[in-house]
Amino acid sequence: MTSKPRPSEDEIIANFFAPLAGPAGLGLVDDVALLAVPPDHELVLTTDVLTSGVHFFPDDPPDAIARKALRANLSDLAAKAAEPVGFLLGLALPDDWTADWLAAFAKGLAEDAACFDCPLIGGDTVKSLGALSLSIAALGTVPKGKMVPRAGVQDGDLLYVTGTIGDAALGLRLRRGADRAWSEALSRPARDYLLMRYLLPLPRLGLRDALRGFAHAGMDISDGLVGDLAKMLALTGMTVEVALPDVPLSKAARQALALDPSLVEPILTGGDDYEIVCAVALADQAAFEREAAAVGLAVARIGTAQKGAEKPLFRDGEGRPLAFSAASYHHF
Amino acid sequence: MTSKPRPSEDEIIANFFAPLAGPAGLGLVDDVALLAVPPDHELVLTTDVLTSGVHFFPDDPPDAIARKALRANLSDLAAKAAEPVGFLLGLALPDDWTADWLAAFAKGLAEDAACFDCPLIGGDTVKSLGALSLSIAALGTVPKGKMVPRAGVQDGDLLYVTGTIGDAALGLRLRRGADRAWSEALSRPARDYLLMRYLLPLPRLGLRDALRGFAHAGMDISDGLVGDLAKMLALTGMTVEVALPDVPLSKAARQALALDPSLVEPILTGGDDYEIVCAVALADQAAFEREAAAVGLAVARIGTAQKGAEKPLFRDGEGRPLAFSAASYHHF
């Protein structure tokens, strides 16, 4: 097998990344990006680091690795009701990278940058003596005062989640090849669906107007619903009881759960959902649901916030409290 | 030897990083930072990734690793005449990190953030299966239209560099323990000085007003004077002849160069200088030099830009052209 010669650092920028650059990127010939924030708007910034073997598998398709990194950041912007304006890319490449790998990586990144209208505006590509790591800092704008904070849930607010919960955590288990009993009994489409949900998060940017209009608080669920919900509620002294049947599950996740009821734990605590959890006043229920429906985004009510210092309580379909060994994903 | 228990992910944020956070960081309890850009200002953004064994030694003091990462970014902002407003930190920690290491790292970062008035506003700390890597995205502001671009050198402009050139490249050689002949003959203070210049760059933020007032173009020298100067000049079809005696060298670098004349190559091409090279109209020479002197910053004229497609030519003290095996540092 022949392999293409590897491009130089300057060629990497010129051939792979400059084509993705938005105007603020100054053609990637400067050291910096230059961005004008529209009047009466504020800038929302987020950063996520993804490392090989931790956030993705070394042999994941390079375009999917790129997309996941960008989408994880866009998911944060989505939860804050921000409109993406651009991103910076930090790429630490291990010694064995190839021109083909980088071309596929850049192609995936380009497609997502175009699709989500979030151009590359700067970056840094360096050598890594260890594994591949990727950092993206994404920027978005909100009209002044319109960012949806994490700390803002009020007593009596309805708590909503977008999409479905737990798919990615199950997809990760399938990807690892563990849990043979349920995974081998799973239908092929269900299996493919869960694997895809792990590989490619879907940032819920469509919820922007609904959030700006009606959400008191919001965050994206990246470390598991149980832990992330607890974090959001604790900030304003709130708690909630959630009945498992109210948690939106995909057909594939339902199938897996029927095969192995213990999967409730990874579904609720496994993370990588990149769905949004948010709090809406009871009075705004109909209007919020209408706005979400208008952009074709499923939102499900999972409970009602109430004052309390206790952790959120999850109950199964028979009303029995669920206990988890860990509420959320932790790096350390 | 006992070692402290390692803090959890939440404790890392609360104990080590939240104390560094500026108001835009929202106490690091949200997923994002929220930044208001002053009216009539634009945002300047830069990012640098540093990886262990490439940009620093694994056993460098943790506070110095933190400082170097922040200062490398601040140096980019300095060269663009931007005023720092904050930074995002992405930290991928290998398996063997300790609480003491992280405490020292955070302390160095805190001191520099305070010293350079550039607070932490967000970040992400994750596990790395490979080496430590660190990405910082720094933000600054400039009055609209006042950013100093890389592409802007005009025919007849005077080219200036700040500080002294080549110290860090020599410091790196000393740190590596190579080149015994000259390094063992070097005085102790010279040795310490060069090592310190490698370990801790000095972002030239003081040059801001002089740059805003008079610079047509500027960039920070991170990959070697020869290569970086060539990059800046090529963007507007310029070239220059530089006489080695006009390149500002520290006393320590002069001492090393006297011991081994071949060190002229790492001095001019080795990188990690984090000095600024900029272009100023002849008519503004006195005013620019006055502004720089007013903040106590040494600037040295190294040549005059002129139209030409050739690479910049460096000559030694006898007027002989210098040839280099590589003009600048390349990762690949």
Arithmetic mean of pLDDT over chain B: 93
**What's the pLDDT band for B108 if we cut at 50, 70, 90?**
very high
Average pLDDT of the residues in A217-237: 96
Q: What is the pTM of this model?
A: 0.91
CB contact, 8 Å: B326 with chain A?
Answer: no
* Chain B touched by A125 (CB under 8 Å): yes
Residues B47 and B181 in one domain: no
What's the Cα-to-Cα distance from A1 to each of A4, A99, rounded to whole Å?
Answer: 10, 14
Q: Is residue B326 part of a domain?
A: no
Least confident of A67-71, A302-306, B323-327: B323-327
B39 min Cα distance to partner chain A (Å): 7
Q: What is the CATH number of the domain that holds B97?
A: 3.30.1330.10
B166 in any annotated domain: yes
| Distance from the A94 Cα atom to the nearest Cα atom in chain B, whole angstroms | 10
Return the CATH number at B280: 3.90.650.10
Q: Tokens representing B109?
A: 């970062």
- What's the CA gap between B235 and A1, in Å, rounded? 39
Question: Does the pLDDT at position A316 exceed 80?
Answer: yes
- Co-location of A139 and A187 in the same domain: no
**How much is the average pLDDT of B34-43?**
92
Picking from B43, B81, B89, B82, the residue whose alpha carbon sits closest to that of residue B65 is B89
Which chain A residues are within 8 Å of B129, Cβ to Cβ?
Answer: 51-54, 130-131
The pLDDT score that the predictor gives to residue B130 is 85
State mean pLDDT over B230-250.
97
Which one of B101, B133, B220, B278 would you mutate to disrupt binding with A, by most A Cβ within 10 Å of its Cβ? B133
State whether B211 and B277 are in the same domain. Answer: yes
Smallest Cβ distance to A47: which of B35, B39, B88?
Answer: B88
Q: What is the pLDDT of residue B79?
A: 97
A279 assigned to some structural domain: yes
More confident residue, B266 or B328: B266
Is residue A306 less than 8 Å (CB to CB) from chain B? Answer: no
Task: Note whether A235 contacts B130, CB cutoff 8 Å.
Answer: no
pLDDT over 60 (residue A284): yes
In a domain, A150, yes or no: no
Quick check: A105 pLDDT over 90? yes
User: Any idea how long chain A is?
Assistant: 332
Q: How confident is the model at residue B1 (pLDDT cuts 50, 70, 90)?
A: very low
B40 touches A at CB < 8 Å = no
Q: Are A253 and A323 in contact (CB under 8 A)?
A: no
Whether A116 is in a domain gets the answer yes
Whether B172 and B138 map to the same domain: the answer is no
Query: Does the CB of A233 have a partner CB in chain B at under 8 Å?
Result: no
- Domain ends where: A109, A143, A177? A143
- Residue A4 Cα, gap to closest chain B Cα (Å): 14
Chain A CA closest to residue B236: A29
Judge if A162 and A97 occupy the same domain.
no
Higher pLDDT, B324 or A294: A294
Exposure of A203 by Cβ count < 10 A (0-12 exposed, 13-18 middle, 19+ buried)? Answer: buried
Tell me, yes or no, if B152 comes closer than 8 A to chain A by beta carbon.
Answer: no
CA nearest to B145 within chain A: A34
Q: Is the pLDDT of residue A179 over 80?
A: no
Using DSSP's 3-state secondary structure scheme, residue B90 falls into: strand
Does any CB of chain B come closer than 8 Å to the CB of residue A12? yes
Taking CA–CA distances from A124, the nearest residue in chain B reads: B48
Burial code of A168-199, b = ≥16 C-beta within 10 A, e = fewer? bbbbbbbbeeebeebbeebeeebbebbbebbb
Residue A26 has pLDDT above 80, yes or no: no
B183 and B69 within one domain:
no
Measure the CA–CA gap between A117 and A128, rounded to whole angstroms.
Answer: 30
pLDDT band at B3 (very low <50, low <70, confident <90, very high): low
From B283's Cα to the closest Cα of chain A, the distance in A is 26
ipTM value, please give it: 0.89
pLDDT band at residue A1 using 50, 70 and 90 as cut-offs: very low
Closest partner residue to B47 (CB to CB) among A36, A122, A220 is: A122
Q: Which residue has the higher pLDDT, B28 or A80?
A: A80
Same domain, A20 and A112: yes
Greater confidence (A178 vs A261) lies with A261
* Residue B308 sits at the chain A interface (C-beta within 8 Å): no
Judge if A139 and A162 occupy the same domain: no
B106 shares a domain with B163: no
- Residue B122 falls inside a structural domain: yes
Q: Parallel, antiparallel, or unpaired: how do β-strands A41-51 and B33-35 relate?
A: antiparallel
- Split into its structural domains, chain B has a count of 2
What part of A 72-111 touches B (C-beta under 8 Å)?
76-77, 79-80, 82, 88-94
Q: A317 pLDDT exceeds 80?
A: yes
CB contact under 8 A, B47 and A150: no
Beta bridge partners of A313: A241
Q: Are residues B176 and B122 in the same domain?
A: no
Confidence of residue A13 (pLDDT cuts 50, 70, 90): confident
How large a percentage of chain A has pLDDT more than 90?
A: 82
pLDDT at A10: 81
Average pLDDT over residues A104-129: 94
**Chain B residues with beta carbon closer than 8 angstroms to that of A332:** 6-9, 12, 93, 127
Domain of residue A59 covers: 9-143
Task: Give percent above pLDDT 90 in chain B.
Answer: 82
Tell me if B324 is assigned to some domain.
no
Specify the higher pLDDT residue, B166 or A327: B166
Same domain, A227 and A263: yes
Residue A19 forms part of a structural domain? yes
| pLDDT confidence bin for A331, thresholds 50/70/90 | low
Q: Do A45 and B35 touch (CB under 8 A)?
A: yes
Reported confidence tier of residue A329, pLDDT bands at 50, 70, 90: low
Tell me the C-alpha to C-alpha distance, in Å, between residue A41 and each of A152, B34, B53, B147: 20, 10, 41, 21
Boundary-marking domain end, from A111, A143, A175: A143
Please indicate, yes or no, whether residues B113 and B138 belong to a single structural domain of this protein: yes
